[in-house]
Chains A and B, each alone.
Chain A
Amino acid sequence: QQQVKQSPQSLIVQKGGISIINCAYENTAFDYFPWYQQFPGKGPALLIAIRPDVSEKKEGRFTISFNKSAKQFSLHIMDSQPGDSATYFCAASVGNNRLAFGKGNQVVVIP
């Protein structure tokens, strides 16, 4: 049973454009929502994270938007660059040390 569901499965964006990846969850007890970035041949690395008491968090070109009532959160990559081409995983946890990951979105930024 997938606890967090990502969409779209893959995304192709022109350099300079905005990449938007969405994630939906069912468990209202989740209290921590990170996004992880994975390059080929590497392990995932924490990119940005949010807690449900805020609706938006921005770090550089990366922004998480959180909609508690809709049980959705999204990752926005502004001014997308070819170096952003990677697989992005959303995840959620309820403080019991287990992170539930989505299936991942592959983002390809075309120069």
Chain B
Amino acid sequence: GAGVSQSPSNKVTEKGKDVELRCDPISGHTALYWYRQSLGQGLEFLIYFQGNSAPDKSGLPSDRFSAERTGGSVSTLTIQRTQQEDSAVYLCASSLQGGFGANVLTFGAGSRLTVL
């Protein structure tokens, strides 16, 4: 596609439920990133994929968070047993390649998660 596509755009869930957030990066972009944007907290790095592998997942806040990428394309971020503090906008970005080029990130519009 022309841009990074994320779904769902909005998700309301109850505390304790699992959620899956999906990201379709720009075709041909080998690097994919997940960031979390909380009110007043800026953009918090979660995980980075190069191809299907995740060389940097140090930003995942707890073992309730996991992500995978398949076929070097689509990525899914899964949050298990959601908590209210997980409420945020989850942003996905992709870039053409790693290294310096990776710094030119193209972001999707995000998935807004609200945990009641």
Contact = CB atoms under 8 A, between A and B. Distances in A.
B40 A103 contact: yes
Chain A interface size, under 10 / 10 to 19 / 20 to 34 / 35 or more: 20 to 34
Interface string A81-109: 00000000101010111111111100000
Nearest to A2: B42
Interface stretch (B13-21, B60-68, B99-107): B99-107
Interface in B48-100: 48, 50, 55-56, 91, 93, 98-100
Contacts, number: 59
Interface in A7-47: 32, 34, 41-46
Contacts of B44: 101
A104 B35 CA distance: 14
A75 interface: no
Contacts of B110: 43
A64 interface: no
Interface of A: 2, 32, 34, 41-46, 49, 89, 91, 93, 95-104
Given A34-B103, A102-B42, 7 more contacts: A43-B108, A95-B100, A97-B31, A100-B45, A101-B43, A101-B44, A103-B40
